[in-house]
Structure 1
Amino acid sequence: MADLIDALEQQGRKTAIHALRKQDARQISRAKLFEQIQSTAAALREAGVDKGDAVALWAENSPEWIIACLAVIRAGGRVVPLDVQLDRKAMERILENCEPRLMLTSQNLLERLKELSTEPPRTLLLDRNEENGESLWTLQGDADLPNLTEDDEATLFYTSGTTGPPKGVPLTHGNLIFQIKRILRTNLTREDDRVLLPLPLHHVYPFVIGMLLPLGAKIPIVLPLAMTGPQILRALKEAEVSVICGVPRLYRALHDAITQRISAKNELLGRTFTRLVHFNSATQLKTKWNPANVLFYPLHQQIGPQLRLLASGGSPLDPDLGRFLVGLGWQVAIGYGLTETSPLLTLNPPDSGRFDSVGKAIVGVELKLDLKQGEDENQGEVLAIGPNVFRGYYKMPEKNEKAFTEEGWFRTGDLGTIDEQGFLCLSGRASTLIVTESGKNINPEDVEEAYAKSSQIKEIGVLEEDGKLVALVVAEDTEQDAKEKIETALQQIADDLPSYWHLTDFALTSRSLPRTRLGKIRRHLLAEEYHAAQGGKTDEARKEPLPLEEMSGEDRALLANSAARSTWDWFSHRYADKGLTPDSRLQSDLGIDSLEWLTVTVEIGQRTGIELDEEVIAEVKSVRDLLQIIATEEQEGGASFSGEPLEKPEEVLSDQQRRWLRPAGPLLGHVQSMAFALNRLLTKAYFDVEISGLDNLPDGHCVLAPNHLSSLDPLVIAAALPQEVLKKTWWGGWTGIAFGNPLVRAISRLGNAVPIDPKRAVISSLAFGAAILNKERNLVWFPEGRRARDGKLQRFKPGIGLILTRYPAPVVPVLIDGTYELLPSGKLWPRRGRIRIVFGEPCDPQQWRDADKPPQDNAKGIANALQDEIAQMQQAHTDQN
């Protein structure tokens, strides 16, 4: 490793690290990186780090992390990369096991170190310009650096613990250098490549493939500002990334984002896109011709114009997902290995066409199968031997006896087959196989994959209970009938599965399944979680918020962010008796409806200065989702809070949204008048329209609040209103219909409609209504929020009440009758018939207010009173007929 570091000095100004910041990027040249590594290594020697000493590195990815890591190695120490999401017990076990000389960390993790039951080692901060602790960068020293050999240990990784407590895995300089040299000889990288590293460096896969390999290949490492979708996409484009060091979960998220975005535009377009992807994938595998650069040129430009190679490791890549990525025109390289093998054992290059396999053993590594451990005569446990294989677990002689055969072969614990061409196909972990009472060996991952196809199931973990299969399930829907829905879904799927894959029982939990950072289920924790859920002893029974000390390491790491912590503290106070946990669902567990969302977003804005984007809010389901978004926004310098939508409505709206509020100009106004007149003519000619109560319209501005039965409703109201009233009237139009495509958007603009979405865009919806009344214009607002599916009056939503609480304009209840029968939801063309429009007497919303109640209660009271007015008008109409 010393040679790899020393070589940086000769590579001059070539970029070694390209780290994205909030507004720009920080670049470190290879010569500068060498200089900082050398000086820091000398300072570490001066601080007492001797050859073979362990130095713990506990922080998020950053250039400082990379510099500190390589400095520890160059100083002769063993760097111990630690997951920032480690819980307290795991951290204590690891520190006790490795006895580090120093702890290198960041300021936001210091508080968690103070919670340890034992005194941590001397701690140095990686933050630059940090005054609240001793900084690594203030150390000085010119001590000589030691000579390093291939047998010296360079790193001490701790496994993620999917089947038990973490185990220390020491890797030597020779282990790591062997990996780098072998991968470089595959010619997968090019001189002009730039490698994106969107994975935490405490794991051996990104450590070697994402950090050491680019340094050895003399190509830049690109670090995104945050490991979130928007920041990864930003890095792909701005840093001109050509290679991604990723995991299947990342590529699955990319697949889902692409397919959902295209399908949302048009169902036919979605099907056509899928067929083109399959066609291109098959074409490449058969002919090596890649037409994707032409077929999907716009998509490549949006995601990453330079992107060409996707490296996948950490867990198996689904074959269909691999073919999809190839079909989009990217090359896919698949690696397989373990922490104990530094990590690669096999490599499946882009041109193999074998997505069912993890590839062949890399040169210098030998693989064979222990057939005694397999399910059939061709399957066995994968055994490996080679220069990349570690020498044994740290201070665990009893584990080492089981980890190696008498001949020195390492037992990977993975089951698989090797075909005549040398391709390895994996089929699961030997340690996680479930043996049923009938003697069947079952891989739980296969069973989970089958049942997880149900749209009712968010997560599922399969385990053995008394020789039978049971499951712990997280439902997608947490309504009261969730258990019945899950039971039905499991039964439907089981009908098409082998009988020995059938579940004999299941338990529901609202908590996410315990997983590692790479997404693997921590199976040794499943039984405890399953029994707790079965006995009703989960957090669902708790009334008070979950204490921080009982949270997972992942959640405590999340709350180290000041904005996320401030939000959690407010939630803990507001929902103090709801059994609040990071897994709490906002709607079903906490009762946060569209009106309450307004309070939540305003409070978050005032506390953190962060304004949440409505499209982001629409995807939030749990408290953890919300906290992650807030933490990311804080790190990325997201939009600053602009105020409450009712107090300063136009400041809340974007420039594009404010365009909907502008009055029509002379030319558009003329077209608008013609359109209104044409609508009046056609509506009255086609239907038998009876209008009454027009004299109830006040002279000034008002709110028209009609019931909503059909898509015809706005057309017949417009046909009923006088021309002079129409010109100063704006309409709330649901985005799904009134703004669904360019044609209807143009019509909506002509009719003075503004986009309203009470579920996904409550803030802008209320701001539009408030801005219209603030300008003293008429507002037509359908309080039910959607058309009636059965022709009956629905509950009025409180949004209109909230607007009227702040802007108490007269409200005219409007009764529409007959449109449901002529054009119900789902029909495309209306029948001819009679329609009746009744404009009721204007109401003063102030009469429904109670000065002693909060705005939310008054809003609901106003909405309920309006609903009663319409109901009375309906009853009167029924009595007359």
Structure 2
Amino acid sequence: MIPENFIKLYESSFRENWDLPALTDYNEQRTLTYEDMAREIAKLHILFRHCQIRRGDKIALVGKNTSNWCIAFMATVSYGAILVPILQEFNPHDIHHIINHSDSVLLFVGDHIWENIEMEKLPEVRAAISLQDFSCLVQRDGEEIAKCLREMKRKFKATYPNGFNREDIKYADLDNDKVILINYTSGTTGFSKGVMLTGNNLAGNVMFGVRSHLHYKGSKCISFLPLAHAYGCAFDLLVPLAVGTHITLLGKIPSPKILLKALEEIRPNLIICVPLILEKIYKKQIQPLLNKTPMRWALNIPILDSRIYGQVRKKLIDAFGGRFEEVIVGGAPINREVETFLHKIKFPFTVGYGMTECAPLISYTPHREFRPGSSGRTLFGYVETKIDSLDPENIPGEICVRGEHVMKGYYKNEEATKAVLDEDGWLHTGDMGTISADGTIFIKGRSKTMILTSNGQNIYPEEIEAKLNNMPFVMESLIVERDGKLVALVCPDYEAMDSYGVSNRDLPMAMEEVRNNLNKMLAPYEQITRIQLYPNEFEKTPKRSIKRYLYDN
């Protein structure tokens, strides 16, 4: 058990960092100090007491990343209720299902989401509260929640007649073994499951972040990954608020252009991102520069290449604000070509590995110790890992995890829990990989996506896709098995086609050239028999992973 109590971490932090800036809504340029945030949390605690919310009651939260989203989150967990954060990208049907499946009794909702919510389909929800201004959108007959919120100013003054001071911050006394969050996965293989995360799971991740100085008092960070997802929640919200960091909220994952503008203005001390961000910047800004004839010529001269790479590194670091210690990449595998290039120019980045079921972190290495191709080193002291293989260092097997970060189970789904959590406490991740003697993990792919050929060869589609995605006129791809043969589904890069004057009529011929060149890079048993074109981007989860199960047939 982690000795630090999860809820008390924030009771202490909010008192100690009372005068510091806590939350800024980037699009509104509205900033709240830790005092302001604590005051708004106290108001919601008055509401919860009025509603007689009890320990174990569930409160759902769905909307874009805003300061009010963060306040609703912290108010719920610090009160002792169980929070159900829902990704705003889920469709209305799934949002209804999650609210009902989780037995939520209150709903905090963004106005743009509320337009598609049908209250009659949420029989257990007593009221819906707007994340815009914490007003009551609708309430059940007999409830006086709207009245309580309208009279909050008077109620707050009556509760704190001498004014609200840092000594008034007193949060729930709740042991770390109690469930704090039910986090519904964005799963790429079907309908999501409710991951029960305890105070211990969350405290483990937070304390690792604190001890690693990922964030620290007075530092700055930008939040653009979904906070309803475990990755963004842990390292763009929970760790920063535990130490006194100033969080700027962008609302949602922006385009690279908008993100680079925000990074230049805010100059964060740490950047948490998904591979797609780095890959787009590399493909649209760096690759065209390196492909220019004079640049290609210069890079072949040993005395010049280090200088050029140094200039590219400086431009990239400046574009990211110039003040960050490192960029942590997670949430999905990073393209190998992009990773190799960033390592070659000595860009300060590292790749971590985790999953919602571990709240989320399993492995991480500081950028100075990062080994290309790896997903970081096991977080010894928090979790232990093993590979289900006769030769874990050389033969891929399923990655299994045990320890402080591992979830309690799936909410109201004992069958799914038993399928991934064995009797010895090992969580079977479904990811295939190898592990070095020092605990560094090398991921090969998902066990569910692995293709087993008729002659017994294991094929990891992700490895082929990484090569294919670097080929001309390919924006993204999926490798699937059709009638015992490998087929590449490809969404073309129309922007690149336009810039090179390639028409739709020429595309099949260009793709056949791509296929031939790709096959030269693959083993005989990995050969692609044909490329099938898709006119639009593949459907993705909120963390930008392709929903592979939609394209398997």
TM over 0.5, shorter chain? yes
2:57 maps to: 53
Q: Deviations over 1:34-79 (max 9, x none)?
A: 2222221231232243211221111000000000011111122211
Q: Report if the CA contact (8 A) 1:82-1:202 is conserved.
A: yes
2:181 maps to: 155
For 2:490 and 2:336, how far apart are their aligned partners in 1? 25
Given candidates 12, 27, 42, the residue that maps to 1:38 is 42
Matched, 1:250 2:277: yes
For 1:39 and 1:380, how far apart are their aligned partners in 2? 51
2:165 maps to: none
Instruction: Report how far residue 484 of structure 1 moved.
Output: 4.4
Change (3 A) 1:131 1:92: closer
Instruction: Report how far residue 80 of structure 1 moved.
Output: 1.2
Given candidates 439, 442, 447, the residue that maps to 1:430 is 447
Report 1:334-413 matches (<5 A). Answer: 334-364=351-381, 365-371=383-389, 378-413=395-430
Q: Which has the higher strand share?
A: 2
Q: Report if the CA contact (8 A) 1:280-1:327 is conserved.
A: no
For 2:314 and 2:408, how far apart are their aligned partners in 1? 49
* SS of corresponding position for 2:260: helix
Matched, 1:475 2:479: no
Matched, 1:6 2:32: no
For 1:129 and 1:469, how far apart are their aligned partners in 2? 52
1:256 maps to a residue whose letter is K
For 2:515 and 2:89, how far apart are their aligned partners in 1? 33
2:532 maps to a residue whose letter is A
* SS of corresponding position for 2:48: helix
1:82 maps to a residue whose letter is I
Given candidates 91, 96, 103, the residue that maps to 2:107 is 103
Q: Deviations over 1:374-403 (max 9, x none)?
A: 999632111111111002111111112210
For 1:316 and 1:208, how far apart are their aligned partners in 2? 19
* SS of corresponding position for 1:366: strand
For 2:539 and 2:428, how far apart are their aligned partners in 1? 25
* SS of corresponding position for 1:420: coil
For 1:146 and 1:424, how far apart are their aligned partners in 2? 38
Given candidates 13, 16, 20, the residue that maps to 2:22 is 16
1:720 maps to: none
For 1:315 and 1:480, how far apart are their aligned partners in 2? 34
Matched, 1:312 2:329: yes
For 1:116 and 1:503, how far apart are their aligned partners in 2? 50
Instruction: Report how far residue 273 of structure 1 moved.
Output: 7.8
Q: Deviations over 1:234-292 (max 9, x none)?
A: 3223223121111111122233344157459x64257658989973799xxxxxxxxx5
Matched, 1:241 2:259: no
Instruction: Report how far residue 91 of structure 1 moved.
Output: 2.3
Q: Report if the CA contact (8 A) 1:281-1:323 is conserved.
A: no
Change (3 A) 1:473 1:239: closer
1:801 maps to: none
Please provide the CA RMSD for this pair: 3.2
For 2:81 and 2:482, how far apart are their aligned partners in 1? 46
2:20 maps to a residue whose letter is K
For 2:305 and 2:332, how far apart are their aligned partners in 1? 24
For 2:136 and 2:229, how far apart are their aligned partners in 1? 30
Q: Deviations over 1:314-371 (max 9, x none)?
A: 1223455345445666422322111001111111111214122112211321111111
Q: Deviations over 1:588-636 (max 9, x none)?
A: xxxxxxxxxxxxxxxxxxxxxxxxxxxxxxxxxxxxxxxxxxxxxxxxx
For 1:273 and 1:185, how far apart are their aligned partners in 2? 41
Instruction: Report how far residue 305 of structure 1 moved.
Output: 3.1
1:461 maps to: 478
Change (3 A) 1:115 1:214: same
Change (3 A) 1:260 1:469: closer
Report 1:176-575 matches (<5 A). Answer: 176-224=202-250, 227-259=254-286, 262=289, 267-269=293-295, 272=298, 279=306, 300-322=317-339, 324-325=341-342, 330-364=347-381, 365-371=383-389, 378-476=395-493, 479-528=504-553
Q: Report if the CA contact (8 A) 2:222-2:236 is conserved.
A: yes
Question: Bigger radius of gyration, 1 or 2?
Answer: 1
Change (3 A) 1:323 1:498: closer
For 2:433 and 2:51, how far apart are their aligned partners in 1? 48
For 1:36 and 1:89, how far apart are their aligned partners in 2? 31
For 1:124 and 1:346, how far apart are their aligned partners in 2? 38
Q: Which has the higher helix share?
A: 1
For 2:226 and 2:171, how far apart are their aligned partners in 1? 28
1:71 maps to: 75
1:170 maps to: 196
Instruction: Report how far residue 10 of structure 1 moved.
Output: 2.6
For 1:258 and 1:483, how far apart are their aligned partners in 2? 26
Instruction: Report how far residue 89 of structure 1 moved.
Output: 3.3
Change (3 A) 1:375 1:218: closer
Q: Report if the CA contact (8 A) 1:195-1:220 is conserved.
A: yes
Greater CA deviation, 417-426 or 63-72? 417-426
Q: Report if the CA contact (8 A) 1:248-1:313 is conserved.
A: yes
Instruction: Report how far residue 296 of structure 1 moved.
Output: 5.7
2:485 maps to a residue whose letter is K
Change (3 A) 1:465 1:322: closer
Stretches of structure 1 lacking an aligned partner (at least 5 in a row): 283-291, 529-881
1:461 maps to a residue whose letter is L
Q: Report if the CA contact (8 A) 2:135-2:150 is conserved.
A: no
1:123 maps to: 128
Q: Report if the CA contact (8 A) 1:433-1:441 is conserved.
A: yes
* SS of corresponding position for 1:49: coil
For 1:37 and 1:465, how far apart are their aligned partners in 2? 54
Instruction: Report how far residue 180 of structure 1 moved.
Output: 1.0
For 2:369 and 2:304, how far apart are their aligned partners in 1? 19
For 1:371 and 1:437, how far apart are their aligned partners in 2? 21
2:163 maps to: none
Instruction: Report how far residue 118 of structure 1 moved.
Output: 5.7
* SS of corresponding position for 2:443: strand
Stretches of structure 2 lacking an aligned partner (at least 5 in a row): 1-5, 140-145, 160-169, 495-502
Q: How many pairs align?
A: 514
For 1:103 and 1:299, how far apart are their aligned partners in 2? 42
- 1 or 2 for the larger relative contact order (CA 8 Å, sep ≥6)? 2
